[in-house]
């Protein structure tokens, strides 16, 4: 492989990553919309935002369906961060609702 071919291959890989990142972002925003609905339901039902049992179910789902090459621990760390951000969204929405009610 020449230097030029290598640089072209690198550019193509980065383009593919950029496209995947946009798809991941779209999916994260879809997930956030659902999380907002869950937050409204929890608020209406007087339930807490944090549900450790449900988080364990999410971790079991994603690690159990992981085909790699990302390790189960890596998948769990990624989803820990996603869940943390989703919990923040729920908190913010509840604060907004409480301020309006």
On whether the pTM is more than 0.75, the answer is yes
Mean pLDDT score, 51-63? 96
Which pLDDT does position 96 carry in this prediction?
80
Query: Kind and range of the H or E element at 70?
Result: none
Calculated CA dihedral for residues 26, 28, 31, 36, nearest 10 degrees = -100
Which pLDDT does position 101 carry in this prediction?
55
Whether cis (ω within 30° of 0) applies to the bond prior to 93 is: no
- When pLDDT is cut at 50, 70 and 90, the band that residue 97 belongs to is confident
Could you give all domains of the chain from N- to C-terminal order, each with its CATH number?
A: 3-100 (1.20.59.10)
Which pLDDT does position 27 carry in this prediction?
98
pLDDT at 99 over 90: no
Residue in the structure block whose two tokens are 């090459």: 69
Candidates 101, 27, 75, 95; CA nearest to 87 is 95
Which pLDDT does position 93 carry in this prediction?
83
């Amino acid at each position: 492989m020449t230097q030029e071919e290598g640089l072209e291959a690198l550019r193509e890989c980065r383009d593919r990553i950029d496209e995947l990142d946009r798809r991941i972002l779209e999916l994260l925003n879809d997930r956030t919309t659902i999380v907002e609905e869950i937050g409204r339901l929890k608020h209406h039902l007087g339930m807490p935002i944090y549900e450790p049992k449900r988080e364990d179910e999410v971790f079991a789902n994603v690690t159990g369906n992981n085909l790699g090459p990302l390790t189960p621990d890596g998948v769990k760390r990624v989803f820990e961060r996603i869940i943390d951000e989703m919990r923040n969204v729920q908190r913010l929405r509840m604060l907004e609702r409480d301020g309006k009610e």
